[in-house]
Amino acid sequence: MADKAADDLELVRRAASDSQAFGALYERHVRRIYSYIYYRTGNHHDAEDLTARVFQRALGRVGDFRDQGVPFTAWLYRIAHNLVANWHRDQGRRPTVPLEDYAVAALPGNHPEAEALASEEHQTLLAAVRRLPADRQQLLILKFVERLSNAEVGQIMGRTEGAVKSLYHRTLTTLREEILRLQSEAGTSERPDFEA
């Protein structure tokens, strides 16, 4: 990770005057930023648009980036986080779930009952996650989707590693309680199978 961060810093230094250097940064980070934004918006089209905006903003400000011990990726995630927060505000916090989330892929050998149950559990989890505050959603995406360490998450979120561990524990506890509440409202009694 240290080598990649050092490579990023060299590319950032060159990117102010070299479009190929910024192109290399884009290629290196676009998938992770898109993935992060997609999980925050739940919509491919909006995720593509916001990802493009992240890199447009980064390109316009790459000359202002200063190495203060925080990786370039953390800077990109902060830009993405701010744009997603603005997007949610502009959307009026109306939850949108893309049609493809409802489509059940019929795989050979899968029973319709199992697919329906899995889809219901998935929808309950998504609903519970989307009710969490933005910083807790961000934490879950960085930990479970991006598979970042607590130290890396801390750099992106501007928190200490210990603060990330504490927030992670509280988030999983809250998520479990929210899932149980949603299940009781729906009349199901399955317990979530994750540990805080």
Domain ranges of the chain: 2-90, 104-186
Instruction: Look up the CATH architecture of domain 2-90.
Output: Orthogonal Bundle (1.10)
The pLDDT value recorded for residue 188 is 61
Structure tokens at 115: 């697919």
The pLDDT value recorded for residue 33 is 94
Least confident stretch, 11-15, 103-107, 116-120, 170-174: 103-107
Q: Is the dihedral of CA 165, 167, 168, 174 positive or negative?
A: positive
162 CB contacts (<8 Å, ≥6 apart)?
none
The pLDDT value recorded for residue 109 is 53
Does 147 have pLDDT greater than 90? Answer: no
Single-letter residue type at 83 = L
Structure tokens at 151: 């130290």
The pLDDT value recorded for residue 104 is 44
Structure tokens at 91: 């959307």
The pLDDT value recorded for residue 50 is 96
Q: pLDDT tens digits, residue range 56-100? A: 999 999 888 888 887 889 899 999 999 998 998 888 755 555 544
Place of tokens 């200063």: 66
Average pLDDT, integer, range 131-137: 89
39 CB contacts (<8 Å, ≥6 apart)?
137, 141, 145
Q: pLDDT tens digits, residue range 1-24? A: 556 666 888 898 898 888 899 999
Q: Higher pLDDT residue, 73 or 194?
A: 73
Task: Identify the band that residue 118 occupies on the pLDDT scale cut at 50, 70 and 90.
Answer: low
Place of tokens 């019929």: 106
CATH number of 104-186: 1.10.10.10, 3.20.20.70, 1.10.1200.30, 3.40.1390.30? Answer: 1.10.10.10
